[in-house]
Amino acid sequence: MDDNDVIRFISLEEGDEKKIAFASYLKKDYVAKSMVIYLDRSDIITHIYFSSNDYGSVEWKNGVGLTDCHRWESEDQAKSPTYLTRRYTAILSDGAEHADYAKRFILPDVIEHLGDNDLADLVSDILHAREYLVPFDYRRFTK
């Protein structure tokens, strides 16, 4: 795997909730793959957002599981003449997909590119649970 393909810790934002961002880049300021973990005041994960430039995006919500799965539209769909494409000339997220799509494409694409194997294992375990109540140790990424 090319070093540019590796998803690494990018930032930590603290407020009412913590937001820990991980990403890889295709080029400067263009995210290829990302994972953003949100924590409550007790450092319990409230949700995790996954994005793959190849397949789309999905969110895991604590107590709910996978939700809000979307795939990228095809080039043909992007070229089709619609009101939206006349205004925005980019490939967009195209409607809802089933969670199975995320399990087959989006999640493996993001997880296999995580630069931290322990984090990849933990995230994989969390994705198999509907509810996860163990505090997340985010401090190891900020050292």
User: Which distant-in-sequence residues (6+ apart) come within 8 Å of 110 by Cβ?
Assistant: 7, 33, 34, 35, 50, 51, 52
Q: What is the mean pLDDT of residues 99-126?
A: 96
The answer to whether 4 and 33 have CB atoms below 8 angstroms apart is no
pLDDT tens for residues 43-55?
Answer: 999 999 999 999 9
pLDDT band at 72 (very low <50, low <70, confident <90, very high): confident
pLDDT value for 141: 85
Whether the per-residue pLDDT at 68 is higher than 80: the answer is yes
User: Which pTM value belongs to this model?
Assistant: 0.84
Q: What angle do CA 59, 61, 67 make, to 5 degrees?
A: 45
Give the start-to-end residue ranges of the domains of the chain: 3-130
Quick one: pLDDT at residue 89? Answer: 42
Mean per-residue pLDDT of the chain: 86
Cross-strand partners of 47: 38, 61
**DSSP letter string over 38-93?**
EE-TTS-EEEEEEEETTTEEEEEETTTEEEEEEEEPPHHHHHS--HHHHH--S--E
Please report the pLDDT score of residue 94 as a whole number: 55
pLDDT confidence band for 97 (50 / 70 / 90)? confident
The stretch 99-112 carries a mean pLDDT of 95
